[in-house]
Amino acid sequence: MASRRGVNFLSRGHKSVFNLWKPCFQKSPNVISLPIRTHYPRERRTFHSGTPLMVAKLLSVEELFAKRSLQEYLKKIETEYSECLRDINSSAVDERCVEENLRTKRTKMSMLTPLIKTMQELDTKLRESQETEILLKDEDPALRELAEVEREGCLLDIQNLRQKILDLLIPEEEADLNDLVLEVTAGIGGQEAMLFTAEVLDMYQGFAQHHGWSFDILEHMTSDIGGLRHASASISGHECYKRMRVEAGVHRVQRIPKTEKQGRMHTSTMTVAVLPQPTEISFTINPKDLRIDTKRASGAGGQHVNTTDSAVRIVHLPTGVVAECQQERSQLKNREKAMKALRAKLYSMRLEEVTSKRYNQRKIQIGTKGRSEKIRTYNFAQDRITDHRIGMTLHDVKNFLLGEDLLDEMNSLLQEFSSQETLMELLGESNQESV
């Protein structure tokens, strides 16, 4: 983790990856086949919604290391590390060095050490591989056979070390290891959109169970026929935010609704927002800034609905952000859940202030809820699911909505593309600075 943050000492600003990566894109038809798999790491980063329908080429490890921009970026890191090492070693005799400046260089150097060490190991393996290539031409058959075994081992080590370098180059974000609050909201399509929203919430509950995460409902506003107008849930578990963040955006469904009497196909939408849940250490709220109201819960739920003031509504006065919960019989439990939702919303706003070059996180994720902004389409008539950001199409909608292997497969490929997008941004910044 520290080494990834250390790379950020060398990075400044962000550029749109789609401008840097244009040669790798091609126009996509509506029906798209699966892209070729590679061994690129499966974790990190997200895509913004509302991007054009395009298919990006997922580069292999060998293709990435063949890029001149990557080699230049690695050389730049080596130079930076060497300069830090030189300044630290000369500080003993140079009284003019400022202690604070030296402390910064030591921190930078310690963060970059794992990456530099891996790069040195790679150089060693590359030299060993070259030596075995010479032995492969020897006249002795036994020696050639031994060299062949040695070469295969070197190639495997080289592949693994290159993969490790790529992984270390991608900086971790502050929210990567956080839990999250998931929000689902019905969009265009009336009752059908609400029914689909309920199905998507169930899908992500299944996805959480598939990964061993906890899933706790915070809000649950139902429609008259069993759909969902809006709901939110708290999800906790290993890398849950890192995996779920690529699910944010407009989801479109095309099918004949249960409410349709003439058998016509309808297109509806719902939106997913994924907000990082901060820890107590990383984010605090002044109790004086809160107004907490209690009221009787509404809707189905038993006799306590009309006799107990259990529903809780919390308003953050400086920002006007509101969170509510009425799922539990206990007012205390509803207050805890409402606070969790409020903290996630405020934390998302705080992250946006820090990363000011992005739009508001929720606005990026849900857009205007229009049909044209979709990130993924669920077509029941063709029994297919297409993610428009990477041009990936899977079949078997019923099993996909279980939130298990099929969703996990699509989600993993989104992680791979997102990792490559982040790396291309880093290389683009390196190129810009070297011009």
> For 86-138, what is each residue's pLDDT tens digit?
887 775 545 555 676 777 888 888 889 999 999 999 999 999 998 888 888 88
Average pLDDT on 196-210 reads: 97
* CA–CA dist 373, 189 (Å, integer): 14
> Regarding predicted confidence, which is higher, 224 or 392?
392
Average pLDDT on 225-253 reads: 92
Confidence band, pLDDT 50/70/90 cuts, at residue 422: confident
* CA–CA dist 136, 131 (Å, integer): 9
Q: Of the segments 130-144, 201-215, 230-244, 326-340, which one has the largest average pLDDT value?
A: 201-215
Q: Give the pLDDT confidence score for residue 241 in this predicted structure.
A: 92
Average pLDDT on 47-70 reads: 69
Confidence band, pLDDT 50/70/90 cuts, at residue 18: very low
Q: Give the pLDDT confidence score for residue 261 in this predicted structure.
A: 76
Question: Which domains, ranges and CATH numbers included, belong to the chain?
Answer: 2-40+57-172 (no CATH), 179-416 (3.30.70.1660)
* CA–CA dist 55, 378 (Å, integer): 18
Q: Tell me, letter by letter, the H, E, C secondary structure of the chain.
A: CHHHHHHHHHCCCCCCHHHHCHHHEEECCCCCCCCCCCCCCCCCCCCCCCCCCEEECCCCHHHHHCCHHHHHHHHHHHHHHHHHHHHHHHCCCCCCCCHHHHHHHHHHHHHHHHHHHHHHHHHHHHHHHHHHHHHCCCCCHHHHHHHHHHHHHHHHHHHHHHHHHHHHHCCCCCCCCCEEEEEEEECCCHHHHHHHHHHHHHHHHHHHHHHCCEEEEEEEEECCCCCEEEEEEEEECCCHHHHHHHHCEEEEEEECCCCCCCCCCEEEEEEEEEEEECCCCCCCCCHHHEEEEEECCCCCCCCHHHHCCCEEEEEECCCCEEEEECCCCCHHHHHHHHHHHHHHHHHHHHHHHHCCCCCCHHHHHHCCCCHHHEEEEEECCCCEEEECCCCEEEECHHHHCCCCHHHHHHHHHHHHHHHHHHHHHHHHHHHHHHC
Q: Give the pLDDT confidence score for residue 24 in this predicted structure.
A: 39
pLDDT of 34 strictly over 70: no
pLDDT of 175 strictly over 90: no
Q: Give the pLDDT confidence score for residue 147 in this predicted structure.
A: 86
Lowest mean pLDDT among 183-187, 288-292, 425-429: 425-429
Confidence band, pLDDT 50/70/90 cuts, at residue 376: very high
> Regarding predicted confidence, which is higher, 426 or 301?
426
State the chain's mean pLDDT as an integer. Answer: 78
Q: Give the pLDDT confidence score for residue 316 in this predicted structure.
A: 93
pLDDT tens, residue by residue, 244-282? 999 999 999 999 987 777 888 999 999 999 988 876 656
267 and 253 Cβ atoms separated by less than 8 Å: yes
With b for 16 or more beta-carbon neighbours within 10 A and e for fewer, the 51-61 pattern comes to eeebbbbbbeb
Percent of the chain scored above 90 by pLDDT? 41
Confidence band, pLDDT 50/70/90 cuts, at residue 58: confident
Token output for 98: 């400022």
pLDDT tens, residue by residue, 308-351? 678 899 999 999 999 988 888 888 889 888 998 898 888 888 77
